[in-house]
Structure 1
Amino acid sequence: MKVLAEERQQLIIQLLKENSVVKLQEICEQTDCSESSARRDLQLLEERGLLVRVHGGAKVKHSLQRELDMSGKAAKNVTEKEIIAKAAAALVANDDVIYLDAGTTTLAMIPYLKGKEQLTVVTNGVLHASRLADQRIKTILIGGELKATTKAIIGVKAVKELQELRFNKAFLGTNGIHQKYGFTTPDPNEAAIKKVALEQSEATYVLADPSKFDAVSFVKIARLAEATIITSSLKTQVSTRYRRQTTIQEEAK
């Protein structure tokens, strides 16, 4: 059945919300339209700032500087974050000194750290420090400026403190994972903290649900090869592309 142009465009936006990428062929098959009509729809939607055209289709247009607050982040991809957090916590051994980034997925790791012996956790997350203390885990909260939206400690003082420390493992969050641009985040101050934590750690793990792949934010944290990615199930095509550049630990839902 033929679909009107306006209905096609609404369907395209819906497909992008679900998958972040939509293919020209997929639009044609689902709406019974020609490739020229689908291309015209993509051009109009791009002109309205709703997507970015790529070869063979389109992808979500990401804001390089937009960042949700902690409550907004916590409400997204909850199941995936729990799966990833549990897998990450399983990598923590007794006697480890670890760094926990101030993200919602690293926050979800904390209940799974219970029972680890002689564990020391350094964090720049105020919420993280509070929950770690509730579990009687030795915790070091670095000092500096408090960022209101993410409850993260940032700034020159925080960077200097981290440069004096060493970690067995660091667990970081990210806003974007991209084959060309690596790991990225909107805030230069948070990026600086993440970079130092990575440099000071024997092994670094980036915790990211599948929605972070093929996304780009304002500031680069590191190259893909500099950390292992822990995520939930990826599409085979995405997994294959990224495994050429880094190690990925996928956890089934």
Structure 2
Amino acid sequence: MSLNDRQRQLLGMLESAGEVKVGGLKEHFGVTEMTIRRDLEKLEQAGYVKRTFGGAILASKDVAIGDRTGVMTDEKQAVGRAAASLVKENEAVFIDGGTTTLYVARYLKAEQNGTVVTNALNIAMELLERRITTVVTGGMALEATSTLVGPGTVEAIGKMAFDRVFLGATGLTAKHGFSNSNLYEAEIKRMAIAQAAEVNVVLDHTKYGAKELFSFAALGEAHRIIADAQPDGELLQACRDQGVEIWVASHHV
């Protein structure tokens, strides 16, 4: 089922907040309440949301990657470009699944002669098209996210050593650190961090303040956050206190 731009944005808001209200959506998008209700009805029919009294909640936290691709595209592209600029010649890099990490892969340069390990099938295809040496972990494929997960994936990553890793996150708070909505993907992220000399988390500003069920790293476990905007207040101070560098990527680079 194809979604229009507003419906994709709606999914992005739900992925970030977990719940939306019709009244707020009506004002945010400048459309009628009936239009929003039809959008939510379509998303419910597609299996993405469950409608509630006055709004909707996410039916499954694993929103299909195809429907996340159109959300915050400019921001994710800028973040991906900035992240890729960190990679130096002959490095071993790990990139996990996600729409923002896909842009990291897209901006890597083949002439740097590095090796990229990934557990994401769509990222592997992107790297192969760019003639970058690619290692794909084994594991069980998750249809919604195009990622490989499970004991086989964890075991494979545990036998590698990375110069730097690039991981996505669905949420970030000062107290709970970096979190993800999928238990199996969180496990992969934890193992990648354990094997990395440098940990980079890439995200857009909608993830600030969001908290998912599965925390995969405390704030101080990341060396750097690469995002399209700085966090506010308490979270910004917590990053400084923990020595986490924040790179703000320009949309116009």
Q: Are 1:248 and 2:243 an aligned pair?
A: no
How far 1:73 moved relative to its partner? 1.5
Residues 242 and 72 of structure 1: CA distance in aligned 2, closer, same or farther (over 3 Å)? farther
2:226 corresponds to which of 230, 245, 248? 230
Is 1:210 equivalent to 2:205 in the alignment? Answer: yes
* Deviation sequence 1:114-165 (CA, Å, 0-9, x none): 2442210000000111111111111000001000000000000110010000
Structure 2 unaligned regions, length at least 5: 1-20, 30-51
Q: Residue 136 of structure 1: which of 131, 134, 140 is its match? A: 131
DSSP-derived class of the 2:94 partner: strand
Q: Rg bigger for which structure?
A: 1
Unpaired runs of at least 5, structure 1: 1-8, 18-46, 51-60
1:186 alignment partner in structure 2: 181
Alignment match, 1:165? 160
For the pair 1:109 / 2:104, whether they are aligned, the reply is: yes
Residue of structure 1 equivalent to 2:216: 221
Partners of 1:231 and 1:15 in 2: how far apart?
A: 27
- Tell me the residue number matched to 1:156: 151
Structure 1 contact 64–218 (Cα < 8 Å) conserved: no
| 1:237 to partner: Cα distance | 3.5
Q: Secondary structure at the match of 2:112?
A: coil
The offset of 1:241, in angstroms, is 3.4
How many angstroms apart in 2 are the aligned matches of 1:64 and 1:221? 22
Distance 1:188 1:239, change over 3 A: closer
Aligned positions of 1:13-92 closer than 5 A: 66-92=61-87
Q: Work out whether residues 65 and 187 of structure 1, in 8 Å CA contact, stay in contact via their aligned partners in 2.
A: no
Q: 1:234 to 1:14 in 2, by over 3 A?
A: farther
Tell me the percent identity: 28
How far off is 1:235 after superposition?
Answer: 5.7
Equivalent pairs counted in the alignment come to: 207
Amino acid in structure 1 at the alignment position of 2:130: Q
Q: TM-score, normalised by structure 1?
A: 0.74
TM-score of the aligned structures, taking structure 2 as reference length: 0.74
